[in-house]
Amino acid sequence: MRVLLTLLLCLFAAMVAYFCYSVYFYGGRWVSNVHNPRIADGKQKVIMGTVTDRDGTVLAYTDAVGERRYNGNRETRMAVSQVIGDDGGKVSTGVDTFHAQYLLGFKSSVLERLSDALTGTPQRGDDVQLTISERLSRYISAQFPAGKRGAVVVLNYKTNEILAMVSMPQFDPTDMDGALSDEEAGALINRATQGLYPPGSTFKIVTLASALTNLPDLEDFSFDCTGYYAVGSYSVTEKSAHGTQTLSQAFRNSCNTTFAALSQDLGYQMLGQTAEALGFNENFLFKDLIVYNSSYPIDDLSADDLAWSSIGQGRVLATPMHMALIASAIAGGGVMNEPRLLRSITTAQGSERALPQAAAPRRVLSESVAARIEKEMIGVVKSGTGTRAALPNGYTVAGKTGSAEASDDKSIESHAWFVGYITNDNAPYAICVLVEHGGSGGGVAAPLARKTLEKAINLGL
């Protein structure tokens, strides 16, 4: 009986501990769930707060009769549609739903509510200012390849602020009937944070990081690319043979066979450890936004699966936001930070409410490895596959292109990727561009990255 009682007490303690853990890490997500009746009830009783961009442009507000309204410019509404969301909560990751706890006054103190009651003031939620730029978001939307789907993420890698998070296609929150009638287009999905894609050759950043961390004598490394590399029952191929290359040349040329060969030296354990250090297989619990988990499966330990995963194919999946965070971590000397979408929160009484506390920065790569990767990424833009991302006027861009195959028989156009950042301190912008079935990363994603970075510089964000 004593043993049984002890066991039951231990199980009860474990249940309480798990409950506390769940409330701490998931409580905010439960509160903001669109099915939470408190949200529907709050909208009937509380004047929902205003949402603005970093420059003060109003993106969402509540009118005099209590109706939720959005920016009067249709291009602006469309450009920020997945970030802001809609009044009905169809976009559950949008600010209007995910941050309803602020906008509907759930965070108001007893004194704040008492003050409203004593003065007869209708209860009003907090106003929320975001880090995104409406002008940059609108520009990206206009420059995105016509008729294509995808996403563009721009981060300030010094402040961790999200400057743009554009997803294509878009919807108009004032015409939800139109958006819902064309659900096949997927406009209600934020592809920047919810879209999971094979990262293609942009994943070679991870493979290179693992090689630099774990393999000795890479300064003397050379590999003879004959155009194919046999591994298991498959062959990793190239369009043409690169010949004998150093590691730097292979990265600049985005040589699949070289990195497939490197993967066999690394093995699943070392490559998997590096991938997980950089955020793959991690449950992102960011305070400001929901980001789906990128995956690097390690259950199939076959040599050919390892080879394909090392070049971002096979079963490797990543979101554009995650790849932008990896670029930001390299720019930051190997330290990854939590992205921030909330810039300020102002109460109905005009005081500043404390922002949710971000997780502590964490080192994901050594400073020396990050510096070497930056050098190689600069080489990609200067003389490799990413030359069309280069900026004029003394700005140096470090980047990596990717053309991720979307079908086994190559019958479907590849996804076009570019991941990188500006190295100059006065323009600390990291970027990820993904164009679904866009074709060449160097030919499609890199030019869009260049235009976006130029616009960010011109706006002085």
Angle at 16 between CA 15 and CA 22, to 5 degrees: 90
**Rounded mean pLDDT of 364-371?**
97
Looking at the predicted structure, is the pLDDT value of residue 203 above 60?
yes
Residue 406: band (very low, low, confident or very high) from pLDDT cuts 50, 70, 90: confident
**pLDDT of 23:** 47
Split at pLDDT 50, 70, 90, the class of 400 is: very high
Phi, psi of 417, rounded to the nearest 5 degrees: -120, 150
- Name the residue among 244, 240, 306 with its Cα closest to residue 275: 306
Choice among 36-45, 83-92, 272-281, 295-304 with the minimum mean pLDDT: 36-45
Q: Is the pLDDT of residue 384 over 80?
A: yes
**Do 367 and 209 meet the contact criterion of CB atoms below 8 Å apart?**
no
Report the distance separating Cα 410 and Cα 434, nearest Å.
18
Q: What is the CB-side half-sphere exposure of residue 384 using CA atoms within 13 A?
A: 26
Provide, rounded to the nearest whole percent, the portion of the chain with pLDDT above 70: 90
Residue 403 CB partners (closer than 8 Å, separation 6+): 200, 201, 414, 415, 416, 417, 439, 440, 441, 442
Question: Kind and range of the H or E element at 280?
Answer: none
Amino acid (1-letter code) at residue 193: T
Band (pLDDT 50/70/90 cuts) for residue 117 is low
With a cut of 90, say whether residue 17 has pLDDT above it: no
Q: Which CATH architecture has domain 200-341+356-459?
A: 3-Layer(aba) Sandwich (3.40)
User: Does the pLDDT value for residue 112 go beyond 90?
Assistant: no
The answer, yes or no, to whether residue 339 has pLDDT greater than 50, is yes
Taking residues 313-328, report their average pLDDT. Answer: 97
Instruction: Evaluate if pTM is beyond 0.75.
Output: yes
In 3D space, the residue among 195, 57, 244 whose CA is nearest the CA of residue 137 turns out to be 57
**Two tokens, residue 136:** 């940059």
Residue 154 burial (CB count, 10 A): 28
